[in-house]
């Protein structure tokens, strides 16, 4: 047997650069490189290995370990999970900083490989710098915190263990059903240990991404259910886009006449102006989508995991005769809501359903109702886009100016605050990849590193990072990374002086925005003084980006035109009126309200809460 003597870290990097994926005949390297911040836990191992392979396996430098995982997640999502990055950190806080990113990856079902340094396997040096000591075990470190947020977890205590662990890691990373974060904890001494690895380990391997087909009997039953329905509704989730099934969905919907409501991850499954597209569904949904969901006698969920925002905390579907058909690569999701499961790839399942339903359509008046809702909502979007609210713009107006001046292939990106809900309702999607919202974990601080990942995945597209002041302050450091790598982002920093989203939620539960405004503390002990004088423009400029200030619609439009002509990262800072909000439409979200309170507003909110909660469906038969 031919062997090659390498350190464990060198063997790991050599293995990663020889892994490829293939779907529909298109082959590509699975790893686009490795992000990393070095410390004593990885500099002599993974760091040395990356230096040795710098010409064949690209290393990227980040400013924050959490941020580099966000970049990898955004990149992988833009690549339909067919490509991703590895991320390496030192031990201690470097490793634990990545835990939030790991949660983002696993919750959103997006592949990313994390390589945190770990304590010495040898143990003679213990306790080493940054080691968590546990009285009842010598085999626990902070890296055990990754277990619940990883789809696969291992600690490599001997260099030869790589040969067993790496194929399993790749199996999970490339699985449409099981993918998420994979964590390999790497003790710092083991990283530098040498072993005679078989050369076959480093041969090129192509992981075929299958398009699995559903059980034939289940498919036939689904056809019967669809033909028997009078008010079917499709809930299009992120799986439609990951499967590259948007064209299949459009053809299926057009021929069968079934209306579609889009989840946050599924937005863009249909063009916004398709007559059967009702737009966003659920808590942040449109009137048409939520009304038709309430009345539907059949829900066809395609690639959705049915989060509480999609189901309006299980109040969205109220027809007593309702049934579910779920098309999903993941059996776990396919069985939700006691559905008839069609476990398979969205693209091929829809093609088979369409063939079996040839000639069948919903009633013409049902289709006409969907068209009416589509047109009615488009008019409402235009109204919000053109409020001419002053002197400060509303957030809806900011979105409107950007949507109007951006191109169909451009990408808008956001993650947290009040903007996800506004974008879900208002953004007119014209391209399946034009809408990028991290809303599985809704991570404040995702926006800038996520924008970097999207731009790296699609350099031909303009990437617009919409970010609130609260999210910006969570992680502004990656502006430096964008500048260093020559990656152009167009950031629109919305200054509404605090956490406007939770401020609105606080008001709705009777607490009047407590703890959500950026204001000085007064003699009363409360944060109710003057607005804090934070100069975001100066802050962003100090990190190396270009900055433009905009005070009104015309200035914002002019700033966007200027930004489109630039070649470097630019930030447009615009102040908005946090009191002018986009309302909710025909929906509700379960946020528990205090059962006992001296505040009359909270008492009233509790009464309303109990009335709404009575509509929650425990099980759907």
Residue that finishes a domain, picked among 146, 173, 208: 208
Q: Does one domain contain both 110 and 76?
A: yes
Question: How confident is the model over 224-235, as pLDDT tens digits?
Answer: 999 999 999 999
In the chain, the number of structural domains is: 3
Q: Does one domain contain both 91 and 119?
A: yes
Question: How confident is the model over 325-353, as pLDDT tens digits?
Answer: 999 999 999 999 999 999 999 999 999 99
Q: Does one domain contain both 258 and 306?
A: yes
Question: How confident is the model over 218-267, as pLDDT tens digits?
Answer: 999 999 999 999 999 999 999 999 999 999 999 999 999 999 999 999 99
Q: Does one domain contain both 392 and 486?
A: yes
Q: Does one domain contain both 362 and 419?
A: no
Q: Does one domain contain both 175 and 128?
A: yes
Q: Does one domain contain both 254 and 163?
A: no
Tokens 């790589």 sit on residue: 162
The reply to whether 223 falls in a domain is yes
Q: In what order do the strands lie in the sheet with 260-262?
A: 277-280, 260-262, 232-236, 298-302, 323-328, 340-343
Question: How confident is the model over 495-521, as pLDDT tens digits?
Answer: 887 777 676 776 677 766 777 777 888
C-alpha 101/C-alpha 548 separation (Å) is 30
> Is the confidence at residue 620, as pLDDT, over 80?
no
C-alpha 577/C-alpha 394 separation (Å) is 5
For residues 406-419, average pLDDT: 95
Residue that finishes a domain, picked among 376, 406, 424: 376
The reply to whether 612 falls in a domain is no
For residues 559-570, average pLDDT: 97
Q: Does one domain contain both 102 and 54?
A: yes
Q: Does one domain contain both 366 and 390?
A: no
Residue that finishes a domain, picked among 153, 180, 208: 208
**Of the ranges 320-329, 461-470, 502-511, 539-548, which one carries the lowest mean pLDDT score?**
502-511
The reply to whether 381 falls in a domain is no
Q: Does one domain contain both 8 and 143?
A: yes
Are 408 and 322 contacting, i.e. CB atoms less than 8 angstroms apart? Answer: no
The reply to whether 603 falls in a domain is no
Domain residues for the domain of 394 are: 386-497+532-575
Question: How confident is the model over 486-501, as pLDDT tens digits?
Answer: 999 999 999 887 777 6
Q: Express as a percent the part of the chain with pLDDT over 90.
A: 84
pLDDT class for 89, splitting at 50, 70, 90?
Answer: very high
The reply to whether 525 falls in a domain is no
DSSP 3-state of 314: coil
Q: Does one domain contain both 370 and 284?
A: yes
> Is the confidence at residue 621, as pLDDT, over 50?
no
The reply to whether 613 falls in a domain is no
Q: Does one domain contain both 183 and 228?
A: no
CATH number at residue 453: 3.40.50.970
Measured over all CA atoms, what is the biggest interatomic distance in the chain, rounded to whole angstroms? Answer: 79
Are 316 and 290 contacting, i.e. CB atoms less than 8 angstroms apart? Answer: yes
Tokens encoding 392: 């400060």
The CA R_g of the chain, rounded to the nearest whole Å, is 25
Which pTM value belongs to this model?
0.96
The reply to whether 90 falls in a domain is yes
C-alpha 356/C-alpha 88 separation (Å) is 49
Tokens 């509790």 sit on residue: 606
Tokens encoding 72: 């990898």
Question: How confident is the model over 258-299, as pLDDT tens digits?
Answer: 999 999 999 999 999 999 999 999 999 999 999 999 999 999
The reply to whether 506 falls in a domain is no
Give me the pLDDT at residue 618, please. 65
Q: Which residues contact 425 (CB under 8 A, 6 or more apart)?
A: 279, 280, 284, 285, 286, 381, 582, 585
CATH number at residue 302: 3.40.50.1220
């Amino acid at each position: 047997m031919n062997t090659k003597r390498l350190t464990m870290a060198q063997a790991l990097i050599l293995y990663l650069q020889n892994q490829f994926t293939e779907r529909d005949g298109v082959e590509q390297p699975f790893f686009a490189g490795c992000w990393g911040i070095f410390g004593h836990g990885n500099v002599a191992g993974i760091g040395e290995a990356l230096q040795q392979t710098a010409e064949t396996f690209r290393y990227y430098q980040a400013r924050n370990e959490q941020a580099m995982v966000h970049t990898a997640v955004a990149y992988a999502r833009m690549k339909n999970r067919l490509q991703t990055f590895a991320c390496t950190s030192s031990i201690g806080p470097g490793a634990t900083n990545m835990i939030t990113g790991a949660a983002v990856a696993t919750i959103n079902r997006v592949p990313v490989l994390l390589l945190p340094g770990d304590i010495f396997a040898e143990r003679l040096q213990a306790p080493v710098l940054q080691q968590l000591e546990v009285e009842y075990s010598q085999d626990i470190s902070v890296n055990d915190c990754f277990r619940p947020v990883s789809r696969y977890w291992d600690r490599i205590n001997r260099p030869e263990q790589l040969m067993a662990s790496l194929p399993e890691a790749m199996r999970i990373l490339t699985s449409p059903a099981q993918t998420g974060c994979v964590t390999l904890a790497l003790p710092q001494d083991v990283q530098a240990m040498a072993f005679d690895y078989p050369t076959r380990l480093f041969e090129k391997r192509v992981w075929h991404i299958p398009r699995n087909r559903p059980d034939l009997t289940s498919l036939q039953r689904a056809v019967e259910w669809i033909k028997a329905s009078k008010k079917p509704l499709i809930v299009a989730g992120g799986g439609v886009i990951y499967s590259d099934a948007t064209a299949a969905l459009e053809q299926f919907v057009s021929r069968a006449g079934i209306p579609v409501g889009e989840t946050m991850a599924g937005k863009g499954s249909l063009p916004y102006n398709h007559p059967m597209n009702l737009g966003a569904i659920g808590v942040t949904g449109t009137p048409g989508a939520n009304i038709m969901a309430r009345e539907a006698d059949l829900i066809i969920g395609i690639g959705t995991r049915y989060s509480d925002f999609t189901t309006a905390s299980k109040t969205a579907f109220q027809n007593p005769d309702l049934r579910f058909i779920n098309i999903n690569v993941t059996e776990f999701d396919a069985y939700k809501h006691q559905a008839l499961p069609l476990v398979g790839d969205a693209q091929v399942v829809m093609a088979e359903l369409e063939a079996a339903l040839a000639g069948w359509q919903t009633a013409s008046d049902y289709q006409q109702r969907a068209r009416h809702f589509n047109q009615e909502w488009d008019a409402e979007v235009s109204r919000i886009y053109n409020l001419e609210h002053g002197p400060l713009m509303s957030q809806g107006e900011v979105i409107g100016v950007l949507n109007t001046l951006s191109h169909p292939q451009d990408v808008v990106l956001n993650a947290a605050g009040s903007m996800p809900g506004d974008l879900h309702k208002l953004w007119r999607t014209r391209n399946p990849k034009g809408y990028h919202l991290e809303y599985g974990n809704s991570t404040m601080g995702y926006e800038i590193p996520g924008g970097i990942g999207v731009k790296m995945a699609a350099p031909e597209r303009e990437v617009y990072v919409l970010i609130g002041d609260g999210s910006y302050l969570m992680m502004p450091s990656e502006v430096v990374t964008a500048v260093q790598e020559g990656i152009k982002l167009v950031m629109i920093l919305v200054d509404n002086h605090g956490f406007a989203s939770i401020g609105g939620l606080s008001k709705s539960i009777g607490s009047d925005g407590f703890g959500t405004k950026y204001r000085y503390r007064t003699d009363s002990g409360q944060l109710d003084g003057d607005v804090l004088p934070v100069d975001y423009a100066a802050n962003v400029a100090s990190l190396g980006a270009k900055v433009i200030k905009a005070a009104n619609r015309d200035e914002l439009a002019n700033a966007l035109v200027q930004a489109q002509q630039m070649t470097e990262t630019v930030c447009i800072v615009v102040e908005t009126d946090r009191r002018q909000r986009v309302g909710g439409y025909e929906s509700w979200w379960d946020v528990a309200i205090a059962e006992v309170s001296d505040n009359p507003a909270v008492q009233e909110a509790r009464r309303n809460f109990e009335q709404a909660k009575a509509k929650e469906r425990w099980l759907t038969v």
